[in-house]
Structure 1
Amino acid sequence: MLKLVLLVILALLAEQRSQALEENTEEHLFPPIHPNCTQSLTELLLLRQEAQLNRMSAAEEATTQVLKETLQTLVQVRDSLNALRNTAQGHTPTSEAVVECVSPFTRVGERCLLLALNKMHTWASARHFCAAYGADLAHFSDINEYVAVLGYINTINELKKSVSIWIGGSDEVEEDNWVWVTGELMPRGSPFWGTKDGYRPQPSDGRSQNCAVLWQPDQYYIHDVSCTYKSAPLCQM
């Protein structure tokens, strides 16, 4: 009986020793996680994520800047191509609206003109004729406009009728101070004004001739004539 008790006690002690050895083995293979380890790993992951986001943000800013510069370059190229096209087509850039002319007026450059070649009037009567269309006698300020007017006149007067043409200039208010009906000063000298008898420059006839006409015998250069002379009105809208 005593031997049996001793055997049971020895078996229990052996079992307890075996369990203690197993626990020591597990602790050796799987040491406990330090409380700060998890926190350090989280912080590392956050730092890596933040660095990646910073790189992505920098790359996005660089891409945006490149796109802006590319857009500016394309706009400049477009404007240059438009300018070249306008030049090739004989157009000049303008901020003004395109002039629309109503019949019987014809567009000539940036103006609307009407030459009533078969209507003979005095200078004052010619202004009334034009006023009935909401217009006045024509005027021009530079050589390009003058040339355009002459081109239009020669087109209308293709049969070369001996008809001079009224324009809206006079010195009635003040002698030798030639102004347009708009109040602007008229251009003087060549190539606008012609000559009388081949050598006397116009205007040349003083107080007796105070109205401006495109003189047909002198290839439509400007001459001063009596305001009661009968000529065809050139109206400008």
Structure 2
Amino acid sequence: MWARGFKLLVFLVLYLQGQPKHCILGEKIAVQTNDQIENTPDVTVDLLRQEVQELSYLITVFLAQPRPQTTKVCRTPYVAMSGRCIVVLDKITGSWANMRKQCNNLGGDLLKVDDANFMADLIQYINAHPFNAGRYWIGASDLGHEGNWRWPDGSLVRLGTPFWGDYGEHLQQPDDGIHENCVNMPRDDRFFFHNGPCNEVNSGICEY
């Protein structure tokens, strides 16, 4: 009975500590506890050593199990995607500024796409749903700082592959200087970034 209580106590302590290295952890437990056994003459040493071995094995198995993934909860009309909350405004169109205002009214801002894996997930999400818009405004622009592309949070936009498209012209976006200061994702170039006139009428994608 005492051995089982000892096992449970050590197991709970180690679980709460969240030790990361399960294999090494099991070995350390056995060593440390065996040292304790040598200084504990009032218990059956062989029985306690067996309990320690069982405990080490249980901890190794337990910590090797995958941790449950938490699902991000988003408020309506946003949906969870790749750990972020987004909404595709497919049926609403406007200039870049107007679509940013639409996002602001929904408690968010135009989307920031700064990770290639997230971009791939986003494109897959759009293609998997009955969205029909030809272009989607996202948050990048160089308004007020020509040639210095930034997201709404002020961080720099990464240029080049794999984000920006080229329409097969062998000249990668962004281009056209002061006339095209806002970024959209066009369907006809597989949703790679293109800069365009900010007063162009497109749909948009928001996040918060």
Fold shared by both chains (TM-score > 0.5): yes
The unaligned stretches of length 5 or more in structure 1 are: 1-53, 87-92
Match of 1:209 in 2: 180
2:146–2:178 contact (8 Å) kept in structure 1? yes
Match of 2:83 in 1: 110
Measure the CA separation in 1 of the matches of 2:152 and 2:43: 67
Q: TM-score, structure 1 length as denominator?
A: 0.64
1:182-221 CA deviation, whole Å, 9 max, x = no partner?
A: 2222222122100045221100111211111002221211
Measure the CA separation in 1 of the matches of 2:162 and 2:130: 21
Pairwise CA RMSD: 2.5
In structure 2, give the amino acid aligned to 1:181. Answer: P
Structure 1 vs Structure 2: percent identity of aligned residues?
A: 27
In structure 1, give the amino acid aligned to 2:147. Answer: D
Match of 1:50 in 2: none
- 1:219 corresponds to 2:203: no
Which one has the largest radius of gyration? 1
2:90–2:133 contact (8 Å) kept in structure 1? no
SS at match of 1:76: helix
Question: Map of 1:85-234 to 2, 5 A cutoff?
Answer: 98-158=71-131, 161=132, 163-196=134-167, 198-234=169-205
1:142–1:187 contact (8 Å) kept in structure 2? no
Q: TM-score, structure 2 length as denominator?
A: 0.72
- 1:77 corresponds to 2:50: no
Aligned length: 170
Shift of 1:172: 1.6
The unaligned stretches of length 5 or more in structure 2 are: 1-37
Structure number with the higher helix fraction is 1
SS at match of 1:180: coil
